[in-house]
Amino acid sequence: MIYFKIGRIGETVSRCLFIDPHDGSISRKQLELREGGMMIGHRLNSKTAGVLIAGTFITMLASSLLAAGPLQETAQQKAERMAWWTEARFGMFIHWGLYAQAARHEWVKRYERMNDEDYRKYFEVFDPDLFNPREWAKVARYAGMKYFVVTTKHHEGFCLWDSAFTDYKVTNTPYGKDLIQPLVQAFRDEGLRAGFYYSLLDWHHPEYPVDRIHPMAENSSYRDQSRNRDVRKYAEYCAHQVQEILTDFGTIDCLFMDFSFPGKDGKGRDDWQSERLLKMIRRLQPQIILNDRLDLLDVPGGWDFRTPEQVMPRAWVEMDGQRVPWETCQTFSGSWGYHRDESSWKSIRQLVVMLIETVSKGGNLLLNVGPTARGTFDDRALTRLRGIGDWMHLHNRSIYGCCQAPPDFPPPLNCLLTHNPKTHRLYVHVLEWPMGRLALDGFAGKVKYAQLLNDASEIKFLSGENTAESPNTLLLSLPVRPPDSAVPVIELFLK
């Protein structure tokens, strides 16, 4: 094995990157090194070598990582790589940072035109003393979520892990401890897969050039003072940090890079050095599922799924006339970060319908929670997550592993359909309970059994030829009162 260290010659350190030359696997070990590459407490033999790299960039590692080209895989191989994600359908997004102190939107620094000095007060008091990641993970699991994505760094530039490349991190706040490692472990222990969000924007970094959405965008004096900032140095910083989060925390199942805004006074692939980042990401975590915001939609392997935000697509998302994997990220209200005074929260039923509709169009739902500055989910969020969980407990068969119904099963009036191709079952989500019967046009002769999903009680049915309906219509006989559920579901066993 070959040992690499991030640091400066003469420094006593404890973090090493290990690259196995046989299988290319990379891991980070806690070993102490000193100048000259000698390792304390580890025996070197003829098959090992210790190398301490000077400066702040690991050139040998970078060369290895960047040697890999774009991801080359068949459509079948991609489907297999993404199978767990497609099966899961439902994940938790977590937006957390210093903005939770302000409690009035994660873009508060931009919206209120704060400079770094104005914003520093939040850094100096950040102390989430009630943070209990195991409680968060249990809530997510009960809600029926199968994976999570947490903001390791948002646009404000503050890092929730102990990054070696900045002092603007949680370990330098009054809290003084890494937040990411215990969170990842807690969610994994509850059976959820791990995902990271990383902001390409950084409103704190000294080499990040001011652009049209920077907090100081309208401050001509500030723009003039910062005109010599070098985006190449900032891109190098991003590469270091992405490398850290993809090597420090084990297998990372999905990565949400956010976001590109090319054009006048914006930033895109050349600024982020996106193709270089992409190669490193694919090299470090070949199995990872990557979103679409590196500005690489035209690059093979440059993205795995589309990400409509705060909108519901009218149909399965397409690219160049072909259906593609997609995930909509949504909030309980309008803000992603904790917002104390926001009152436009969606109801439990609205959120359940949102999940159903997303799956009925072949997509995933990533539903966001903004924790408080003390490290808790507030009561509004908990009430809704538990309500979704109550529904999922009885109806998750209509979500997990499901997708859009085949075209020969048109959705009935006031209903949404999902289909599980493995079990060959169709799910009718009844948004408005009809009086006594439900007509399913085109279903006659295709169904062998029907039941309410919540209690597996039989639903009798007749074909249209035995009724006044069309011969192709299946007529379900329903109880007068609907099940006590946010959205009742009828499970159809297909022939």
Domain of residue 421, CATH code:
2.60.40.1180
Task: Answer yes or no: do 214 and 125 share one domain.
Answer: yes
426 shares a domain with 346: no
64 vs 427, more confident: 427
The reply to whether 137 and 90 lie within a common domain is yes
- Judge if pTM exceeds 0.95: no
Domain membership flag for residue 410: no
Is residue 293 in a domain?
A: yes
pLDDT at 242 (0 to 100) = 98
pLDDT in tens, 175-211: 999 999 999 999 999 999 999 999 999 999 999 999 9
Do 50 and 185 belong to one domain?
Answer: no
Q: Are both 353 and 447 inside the same structural domain? A: no
Whether residue 424 is found in the same domain as residue 309: no
Q: What is the mean pLDDT of the chain?
A: 89
Least-confidence region, from 18-22, 102-106, 419-423, 490-494: 18-22
Domain encompassing residue 16 = 2-55
Residues 201 and 88 in one domain: yes
Q: What is the pLDDT of residue 70?
A: 56
- Domain assignment present for residue 60? The answer is no
In a domain, residue 409? The reply is: no
Residue range 30-40: mean pLDDT, rounded: 34
pLDDT at 92 over 60: yes
- Determine the average pLDDT of the residues in 347-360: 98
Q: Could you tell me if residue 408 is inside a domain? A: no
* Same domain as 347, residue 224: yes
Kindly state whether residue 130 falls inside one of the protein's structural domains.
Answer: yes
Claim to verify: residue 42 and residue 185 sit in the same structural domain: no
Count of domains observed in the chain: 3
- Is there a single domain that holds both residue 22 and residue 131? no
Do 364 and 475 have their domain in common?
Answer: no
Same domain, 169 and 264: yes
Name the pLDDT band for 484 (thresholds 50, 70, 90).
Answer: very high
Q: How confident is the model at residue 469 (pLDDT cuts 50, 70, 90)?
A: confident
Check whether 385 has a pLDDT greater than 70: yes
The reply to whether 101 falls in a domain is yes
pLDDT digits (tens, 9 = 90+) for 125-177: 999 999 999 999 999 999 999 999 999 999 999 999 999 999 999 999 999 99
**pLDDT for residue 368:** 98
In-domain check, residue 150: yes
* Single residue among 328, 363, 398 that ends a domain in this structure: 398
| CATH code assigned at 358 | 3.20.20.80
The 3-state secondary structure of the chain reads: CEEECCCCCCCCEEEEEEECCCCCCEEEEEEEECCCCCEECCCCCCCCEECCCCCCCCHHHHHHHHCCCCCCCCHHHHHHHCHHHHHHCEEEEECCCCHHHHCECCCHHHHCCCCHHHHHHHHHHCCCCCCCHHHHHHHHHHHCCCEEEEEEECCCCCECCCCCCCCCEHHHCCCCCCCHHHHHHHHHHCCCEEEEEEECCCCCCCCCCCCCCCCCCCCHHHHHHCCCCCHHHHHHHHHHHHHHHCCCCCCCCEEEEECCECCCCCECHHHHCHHHHHHHHHHHCCCCEECCCCCCCCCCCCCCCECCECCCCCCCCEECCEECCEEEEECCCCCCCCECCCCCCCCHHHHHHHHHHHHHCCCEEEEEECCCCCCCCCHHHHHHHHHHHHHHHHHHHHCCCCECCCCCCCCCCCEEEEEECCCCEEEEEECCCCCCEEEEECCCCCEEEEEECCCCCECCEEEHHHCCCCCCEEEEECCCCCCCCCCCEEEEEEC
